[in-house]
Amino acid sequence: MQHIHRRAWLAGAGAILAAPAFAFPDRTIRIISGFNPGGLNDIVSRAMAQALTPVLGQSVVVENRAGAGGGVGAAAAARATPDGHTLFMGIVDTQAINPWAYRNLQYDPERDFAPISLVARFPFAVVAGPSQPRITSFQQLVDAARAAPGRINFASWGVASTSHLAMERINRHFNMDLLHVPFTGQAPAMQGILAGQIDTMAIPAGGADQLVREGRTRALAVIAPGEVPFFPGVPTIRSFGVPLDSGLWKAIYAPARTPAPVVARLNQAVRDAMTAPAFIEVVRQQGALPEPSTPQALAEMQRAERIAWGEVVRAVNAVVE
């Protein structure tokens, strides 16, 4: 009898040890976006939240924490409990540029995050607004800027953001003297363009599409490997000799030390969410397609991007105190 009880105890103990120490997910999940509502990061984050909800069986909500080139949201996500219930929609700015640009960055993109999956890469369009009605081509922008140094300005969604650094690359290549006017997000910067306060800007192509079709802005060039379907016939910036064809990428992260089984579950869930027709349509409206990856592939891409953008930040001395 004693022998039977001992066997039963051992079997029970083994079952306890084999059982998972947690159930994931067991409550609402939040995706932190480091930028204001209305911009591309917010749009994609909300589409991801909607697509993830049925996949994970829990509500997924978006929390906007804008500031410091996405760094405020990144720092908040990095400090969150590493149990998979807080995610971060990182972009090239937060994960590859900010370490070079911000002297007192409150997080480390590699040390403080567990990569989950790449989401997509988004092309940029260089647009001109109503303040410069005579500028209808990229060459006219170059000519106007050279003719009046410091008189043509451009917006960005923050110092050392991709929108800033892309235009600085163009500025330096053509020996222009464009005046940089930073905003706190993509949506406020676009409002500056539409209000006639800002002359030009590099923005995600999807954000420019409707405005161009309505005649409120004009697409002068695209920053992409090839022609962007929204803007047939609009030349790439590389065709003018500028060695630049990358726009913006977005990816999902969890805080570092998130358990490996949770990371694996999230990777599969994000992959499944990216097959949802509604999510695909949102990304397509921004000029891209979903591009899922493994956590390892995302980590490798991030390291390569960090090196490449570091060279640009140093070249233009885009440092934020």
Contact (Cβ atoms closer than 8 angstroms) between residue 212 and residue 119: no
The answer to whether position 74 is within a domain reads yes
DSSP-based three-state secondary structure for 154:
strand
CATH number, domain of 218, equals: 3.40.190.10
Query: Mean pLDDT: which of 2-11, 111-120, 170-179 is highest?
Result: 111-120
Q: Are residues 130 and 77 in the same domain?
A: no
Domain count, the chain: 2
* pLDDT for res 22: 57
**Residues 110 and 91 both lie in one domain:** yes
Distance (Å, rounded) from C-alpha 123 to C-alpha 89? Answer: 18
Asked if residue 284 is part of any domain, the answer here is yes
Of 240, 271, 292, the residue at which a domain comes to its end is: 240
Q: 208 and 302 share a domain? A: no
| Residue ending a domain, choose from 217, 240, 263 | 240
The confidence band for 2, taking pLDDT boundaries of 50, 70 and 90, is very low
Distance CA 228, CA 124 (A): 9
Of the residues 210, 240, 270, which one is the last residue of a structural domain? 240
One domain for residues 92 and 188: no
272 is a domain residue: yes
Residue 18: predicted pLDDT: 41
3-state secondary structure of 31: strand
227: Cα separation from own chain's centroid? 21
Q: Are residues 110 and 252 in the same domain?
A: yes
Residues 190, 234: one domain? yes
Q: Is the pLDDT of residue 17 over 50?
A: no
Token look-up 């990095």 returns: 78
Helix (H, G, I), strand (E, B) or coil at 144: helix
User: For position 143, what pLDDT does the model report?
Assistant: 96
- Count of CA atoms in the C-beta half-sphere (13 A) of 2: 0
The single residue listed with the structure tokens 């397609």 is 289
- Give 164-215 pLDDT, tens digit per residue: 999 998 998 999 999 999 998 888 999 999 999 999 999 988 888 889 999 9
Mean pLDDT of the chain: 90
Tell whether 109 and 252 lie within a shared domain: yes
As a whole number of angstroms, the distance between CA 311 and CA 89 comes to 24
Lowest mean pLDDT among 50-59, 119-128, 201-210: 201-210
| Domain shared by 93 and 151, yes or no | no
Q: Which of 40, 219, 204 is nearest to 129 (CA)?
A: 219
CA distances from 179 to 82, 150, 167, 317 (A): 42, 6, 10, 15
At 247-300, the pLDDT tens digits run 789 999 999 999 999 999 999 999 999 999 999 999 998 888 899 999 999 999
Task: Kindly give the residue spans of alpha helices, DSSP state H, lying in the chain.
Answer: 2-18, 40-56, 71-79, 92, 98-101, 138-147, 162-173, 186-194, 205-213, 260-273, 277-285, 295-316
**Between residues 309 and 77, the one the model is more confident about:** 77
128 and 145 together in one domain: yes
pLDDT at 11 over 60: no
Domain assignment present for residue 137? The answer is yes
Between 93-102, 180-189, 233-242, 257-266, the lowest mean confidence (pLDDT) is in 180-189
Is 61 within a domain? yes
Q: Are residues 34 and 183 in the same domain?
A: no
In 10 A of CB 77, how many CB atoms? 27
Range of the domain at 99: 26-121+248-316
Structural tokens at position 43: 């749009």
In a domain, 194, yes or no: yes
In a domain, 19, yes or no: no
What is the length of the chain? 321
